Structure 1
């Protein structure tokens, strides 16, 4: 694996989703990718940005739960 990019197949394995879901995110512009001929590579920085932007939960949810139950 290239340490700066991941293939669609590698990213699908990381996220435990079908490769078609990754292609859809690339097509829709939700996930920036490098196109080399028919090969697509997604920069690690873009993957981390996407994960941070699309991850819910953590402390923020925990604070909301405490507020609701108090």
Structure 2
């Protein structure tokens, strides 16, 4: 996963995606993950369990600067 000023890019051996921040409807944060909501039927899940504490803090700060987070 790579974040930049324009969006988020994910890459895996068989698939990849690029989502621009302007495409997000809202962001939902739970204790386990962030859900970057694109529409009623589509969201990108970012699991917290695979992140170090420092990475979680950085990601939290980044998404809070983008848009208000729904809970």
Q: TM-score, normalised by structure 2?
A: 0.21
* Structure of higher CA gyration radius: 1
Greater fraction of residues in helix: 1
**Structure with more contact order per residue of length (Cα contacts < 8 Å, sep ≥ 6):** 1
Q: TM-score, normalised by structure 1?
A: 0.21
